[in-house]
Structure 1
Amino acid sequence: MSGQRKDDHVRLAIEQHHAHSGHNQFDEVSFVHHALAGIDRRDVSLATSFAGIDWRVPIYINAMTGGSVKTGVINRDLAVAARETGVPIASGSMNAYLKDPSCAGTFSVLREENPDGFVMANINATTSVDNARRAVGLLAADCLQIHINTAQETPMPEGDRSFASWGPQIGKIAAAVGVPVIVKEVGNGLSRQTLLRLQELGVRAADVSGRGGTDFARIENGRREVADYAFLRGWGQSTAACLLDAQGVAVPVLASGGVRHPLDVLRALALGARAVGSSAGFLRTLLDGGVTALVAQITAWLDQLAALQTMLGARTPADLVRCDLLVHGELRDFCADRGIDTRRLARRSTPASSPGPAHHSGPAGDFGPGPGGTRGALKGSTR
């Protein structure tokens, strides 16, 4: 049952990706072009740091799959691509392994094929502390993702219906598991209030994983005998909206959900994300063209990201939070309703001491961590 569900998720996610219109709220974020802002490419680094973790690049292969023979093959190929490009990688939910140890190999292949890379284990919020440690141990994981997904569980035929314990259990795992914990949504977004709650629970970082990519509520509705939860399609906030909503929150944020190309990566970093993950887009490339095609895609993304930083004058990904941004359309309406002043984004590059509008608040304001990313090894120091 679990293995078939994992195979169904892959098939339905790819069908969604093929049918996607291509537009999402990342398109409502644009950069103010400053024609003399550019720097020399040799001065650009892609290194990023957060929660005591150093990555050489700000792009990662986000949680996808595992638990069946077919998905084990996918994980093997993803691990090879991660090894060849140096990007971090996360497993899919390891609940299948925790229920049935015979499928362990479909997950452990991530470490076997990528022995020196940064690997993240992935569990749900109802997992016991002992099982969380088992998941970390199987992958010799450098950190642990805990996914939260009430909008997916609700239409899931065999889904959870008891959510009150999720927060306290996340706190227990974060305190006891021995590696940094990153809490992530699965495509419906993390609000400011949720991020503040995670901060209280001792979570080291959060992946906002907003609307715009794979819609798991839609996938689970498609698995029902009667697809009577169609009204949940599009539930939640977009990734761009979540990043804007996260201003001033101390817990570092990562971004995924609807990331289509390097410009979306650039936008997310400029909105304050420390790193940016992709799942369905990478998976489609892998299934269409194999490992060679995926390695080529990730390599091209990294090269293009460095080129874009060069054009914008951002020596590190963290420097992108000083770039001037304009917010348009429904995303601007979201900001207005949530009390987010988008005017500050449009003037961040102006030094605080320079003449300018009276309401100017300085370079980065509350929209990011400020410059100063450090070059470090791919693996964090917390393994």
Structure 2
Amino acid sequence: MIADRKDDHVRFAAEQQRHLGGYNQFDDVSFVHHALAGIDRSDVSLATRFGGIEWQVPLYINAMTGGSAKTGAVNRDLAIAARETGVPIATGSMSAYFADESVAGTFSVMRRENPDGFIMANVNANASVEKARRAIGLLRADALQIHLNSIQETVMPEGDRSFSSWGPQVEKIAAGVDVPVIVKEVGFGLSRETVLRLQEMGVRAADVAGRGGTNFARIENDRRDHADYSYLNGWGQSAPACLLDAQGAGIPVLASGGVRNPLDVARGLALGAAAAGVSGQFLKTVLDGGVPALISQISAWLDQLEALMTALGAPTPADLTRCDVLIHGDLRAFCADRGIETRRLATRSSTHSTTHETIGSTR
């Protein structure tokens, strides 16, 4: 049954990507164009550092799948693309492995195909410390993702219905494993209050994983006999909203959820993220065009991100937090309601040091 569910998730997620609308709240973020801000391309580095972690690029393949023969093949292809492009990668939830060790190869294939890459194992917030260690050991993982998905579990016919233990268990795992712990949502976002709690728990970084990309409420609703929970399709906060909400929360943040192109990556970095993660876009590419298509796409994204940073005058990803940005539309309304002041973002290039301390200090 778990294998069937994993196959359903991939099928429905790919189908969503083929029908996603054009707009999401990344479009409510625009850079102020300064025609003399540009620098030399040779002075630009994509390397990023956060929470004691160093990556050569601020882009990663985020958690997707594993647990069946079909999803193991997807993980193999994703790992090859990660190896060839140098991007970090996360496996999908390893709950299937804990239930049936015979599917271990559908996850460990990532390390076999990408022996020197940065790989993140992925467990749910109910996992014991022992299971978290097993997941890390299977992949020889460099970091551990713990996913929070109460809305997905609520809509999932066979999902969990008890969530009170999640916070204490996250804290136990963070203290009980020997690799950095990154806590992520699955597409509904992390509020400032949640990010602050994660910081207190000893979590190394928070992946906001906001609304706008793969919608797991819709996926689980599609798996039900009747679409009982369709009213939850718009639940949660977008990645840009979460990034703005989390400024100054004292923990590095990562941007995922609805990242569609290199400009969205730059927008996420400009709002304080140390890196941006992509799932749905890359899943669609690898399913439709195979490994060569995904390698080509990731390579193009990295090249174009570097080009954008050159034009914006940002020699490093962290320097994008010094670029002037405007906040529009629904995102601006969210900020107003949450008491987030946005006008200073439009003129921060003239106050480099102050702005960098405010937004970049969590890197």
Name 1:351's counterpart in structure 2.
351
1:363 aligned onto 2:347: no
Please report the RMSD computed on the Cα atoms of aligned residues, expressed in angstroms: 1.1
Name the amino acid aligned to 1:337. D
The CA deviation at 1:281 is 0.2
Q: CA deviation at 1:95?
A: 0.3
Offset from partner CA, 1:295-350 (integer Å, 9 cap, x none) = 00000000000000000000000000000000000100000011111001001101
SS in 1 for 2:361: coil
| Stretches of structure 2 lacking an aligned partner (at least 5 in a row) | none
Aligned match of 1:378: none
- Aligned match of 2:302: 302
- For 1:157-236, list aligned pairs within 5 A: 157-236=157-236
SS in structure 1 opposite 2:76?
helix
Within 5 Å, give how 1:148-163 maps onto structure 2: 148-163=148-163
1:67 and 2:52 matched: no
For 2:275 and 2:116, how far apart are their aligned partners in 1?
20
Q: Secondary structure at the residue paired with 1:122? A: strand
CA contact (8 A) 1:60 1:87 kept: yes
The Cα shift of 1:351 comes to 3.1
Letter in 2 for 1:367: I
Corresponding residue pairs, total: 363
Give the unaligned 5+ runs of structure 1: 353-360, 374-383
CA contact (8 A) 1:344 1:365 kept: no
- Letter aligned with residue 281 of structure 1: Q
1:185 and 1:208 in contact (8 A); partners too: yes
- Equivalent residue, structure 2, for 1:139: 139
Choose between structure 1 and 2: higher helix proportion.
2
Instruction: Say which SS state the counterpart of residue 364 (structure 1) adopts.
Output: helix
Query: 1:362, 1:341 → 2: CA distance?
Result: 15
Residue in structure 2 matched with residue 278 of structure 1 by the alignment: 278
Q: Deviations over 1:75-123 (max 9, x none)?
A: 0000000000000000000000011000000000000000000000000
Q: How far 1:363 moved relative to its partner?
A: 3.1
* Greater CA drift, 14-23 or 118-127: 14-23
For 1:129, the equivalent position in structure 2 comes to: 129
In structure 2, give the amino acid aligned to 1:282.
Answer: F
Aligned pairs for 1:366-377 (under 5 A) are 366-369=358-361
Which letter does structure 2 place at the counterpart of 1:171? E
Output the CA distance in 1 between the equivalents of 2:134 and 2:306. Answer: 38
Offset at residue 18 of structure 1 (A): 0.7
Q: How far 1:224 sits from its partner (Å)?
A: 1.1
Q: Does the aligned pair in 2 maintain the 1:28–1:329 contact within 8 Å?
A: yes
Counterparts in 2 of 1:372-383, with a 5 A limit? none
Compute the displacement of 1:365 (Å).
5.9
The secondary structure found in structure 2 opposite 1:326 is strand
SS of residue paired to 2:248 = coil
Assess if the C-alpha contact under 8 Å between 1:272 and 1:369 holds in 2: no
Deviation at 1:157, TM superposition (A): 0.4
CA–CA separation in structure 1 for the residues paired with 2:356 and 2:342: 12
Aligned to 2:325: 325
Secondary structure of the corresponding residue to residue 359 of structure 2: coil
Task: Name 1:12's counterpart in structure 2.
Answer: 12
Partners in 2 of 1:159 and 1:244 — Cα distance? 31
Q: Distance in 1 between matches of 2:229 and 2:288?
A: 31
Q: TM-score, normalised by structure 1?
A: 0.93
Match of 2:52 in 1: 52
Rounded Cα–Cα distance in structure 2 between residues aligned with 1:12 and 1:85: 27
Counterpart of 1:357 in structure 2 is none
Q: Percent identity between the aligned chains? A: 72
